[in-house]
A and B are shown apart, each in its own frame.
Chain A
Amino acid sequence: MNEFVERRLTLRWQQAKRAYDVVIVGGGGHGLATAYYLAARHGITNVAVVEAGYIGAGNSGRNTTIIRANYGIPEAVRFYQHSLELYQTLEDELDCWMMYTTKGIIWLAHTETAMRAERARSLLNLACGAETVMLTPQEVKALCPQLDLSGGGRYPVLGASYHPAAATARHDRVVWAYAQGAMRLGVHVLQHTRVTGLLRDGARVTGVETSAGPISAGQVLSAVGGNVSTLAAYADVRLPIRTHPLQAFVTNDYEQAFQPILSDTELLCYVSQTERGQMLIGAEFDAQPSYSLKSSFSFLQSSAAKAMHLLPFLRNLRVLRQWTGICDISADFSPILGETGVEGFLVTTGWGTWGFKAIPAGGELMAELIASGRTPPLLEPFRLDRFASDQTMADPGSTGTH
């Protein structure tokens, strides 16, 4: 028998009150994790998470679940390494099995330029506390025997960077576990309640207008994923965010085990195997901003073609399902957390196509900021006012896809 025994979740749904100390808009991973840490670490339990649909309806239930810390700037490596370490003990902390599995991620390089970038990444990662090493093509092949080192004759593998701590976890279990953890401590999670405006007193935000009536709040946190510009506009807050769709698809079962996460720095696609044995394939986000959840044939075609250059066995599998999420992508490809310049209104956004891995650290540090009024050092680089002060955190090479 498995060493983890699944327990039934105890989600205690409550009626909305008229007022809370903190209202969090958006029941995705970031909103629910922030609520959990507010209650668990700071004793702030008079909190509501207001969710338009069902919890996990957004990107937190649509992502490809890759957890890693091999980013390209020191501020990001330290932040994501912290998040990865929180994930490693999260099943114990929340007493919930999340299928957290360490797999290691291989980032393939096909040109000298890409090799140089990956060498620089691995040195930077090591210096900032995340283990990333360089692999020869033979070492890559040993970790991933299915890989065609000639890249279908077009994309020969010169080497790769390898980040052994990279992992995956079941996304909706993470969402449910944080919801359960928060609700056990008294947090209210209000599903099917859409925020349609913000209550203001002068410039200050004093609560939310919802489809179920107004709710006042000491502080309001926006954790609405791709919908953040709409919410921020209610407070006259301008954001360097564009909302882009990101798609992914799975095939039917592949009868062999495919152990690592395989990612390509130049083809911008990545492949892993789900617990059910399906091959999960993702690639770049759509070039034009959009709020539409429509999937496109052109994405399927281009990402499948790329992945098949690397893994010829994929040819024999069939596409089972394809889906889309809408991602809040910031102008410098780094997250934006904290104060907005409008009193009572905070944001956690800019999670783009890579924010699943950030849920534990994003929630923990956001809760600390809300509780103490001070920005924790790990969040300092990701403040919104970095754009006005020319201190942007550009890291496009680490974030574009997962």
Chain B
Amino acid sequence: MLWIPCPTCGRRPVEEYRFGGELRGVPDRITDPIERDVDYVWMFDNVAGVTTERWFHQAGCRRWLTVRRDTTTDTVLG
């Protein structure tokens, strides 16, 4: 099971949190402004590896936190 460390509440099980999405930018190679908007709204990096994400500690302190997670093992780093 996935455990996520919260700066306020300590190490808590994933069920207490809500996933808030990966932090990502639009790739520089996309230059057309409309295409950049489409990418921003719809596309995901969805990497198999380490991602940086936002999580909301819904059943805890109700604050947002930034988490680095390895999606191949579903474990939080650091």
Which residues in A have some Cβ–Cβ distance to B below 8 Å?
227, 229-230, 236, 238-243, 245, 287-292, 294, 296-298, 331, 387-388
A131 to chain B, nearest CB (A): 34
A292–B72 touching, CB < 8 Å: yes
B46–A239 touching, CB < 8 Å: yes
Residue numbers in B under 8 Å from A287 (CB-CB): 14, 18-19
A229–B72 touching, CB < 8 Å: no
Q: Can you pick out 23 interface pairs between chain A and chain B where the beta carbons lie within 8 Å of each other?
A: A229-B48, A230-B48, A238-B27, A239-B44, A239-B46, A241-B46, A242-B44, A243-B48, A288-B19, A288-B69, A289-B44, A290-B71, A290-B74, A291-B71, A291-B74, A292-B72, A292-B74, A294-B74, A296-B1, A298-B13, A298-B14, A331-B44, A388-B35
B36 to chain A, nearest CB (A): 11
B47–A229 touching, CB < 8 Å: yes
Interface residues of B in 11-70 (CB under 8 A from A): 13-15, 18-19, 22, 27, 29-30, 34-35, 38-39, 41-48, 53, 69
B74–A241 touching, CB < 8 Å: no
Residue numbers in A under 8 Å from B14 (CB-CB): 287-288, 298
Residue numbers in A under 8 Å from B44 (CB-CB): 229, 239-242, 289, 331
State which of B1, B2, B45 has its C-beta within 8 Å of the C-beta of A229.
B45
State which of A239, A289, A387, A388 has its C-beta within 8 Å of the C-beta of B71.
A289
Given contacts A290-B74, A294-B74, A296-B1, contact A331 B46 (CB under 8 A): no
Residue numbers in A under 8 Å from B35 (CB-CB): 388
B48 to chain A, nearest CB (A): 5
CA distance A243 to B39 in the complex (A): 17
Interface centre among B43, B46, B47 (most CB of A within 10 A): B46
Residue of A whose beta carbon sits closest to that of B27: A238
Give the top 10 A-B pairs by smallest Cβ distance, nearest first.
A229-B46, A292-B74, A238-B43, A240-B42, A290-B74, A288-B19, A387-B42, A388-B38, A291-B48, A291-B72
CA distance A34 to B17 in the complex (A): 40
Residue numbers in A under 8 Å from B1 (CB-CB): 296-298
Residue numbers in B under 8 Å from A227 (CB-CB): 48
Residue numbers in B under 8 Å from A245 (CB-CB): 74
B24 to chain A, nearest CB (A): 10
Residue numbers in A under 8 Å from B43 (CB-CB): 238-240
CA distance A289 to B1 in the complex (A): 14
Given contacts A289-B71, A294-B74, contact A387 B46 (CB under 8 A): no
Residue numbers in B under 8 Å from A242 (CB-CB): 44, 46
A164 to chain B, nearest CB (A): 37
CA distance A236 to B74 in the complex (A): 25
B26 to chain A, nearest CB (A): 9
A238–B39 touching, CB < 8 Å: yes
CA distance A240 to B2 in the complex (A): 25
Residue numbers in A under 8 Å from B45 (CB-CB): 229
B46–A289 touching, CB < 8 Å: yes
B66 to chain A, nearest CB (A): 14
CA distance A291 to B69 in the complex (A): 11
Residue of A whose beta carbon sits closest to that of B46: A229
A290 to chain B, nearest CB (A): 4
A387–B38 touching, CB < 8 Å: yes
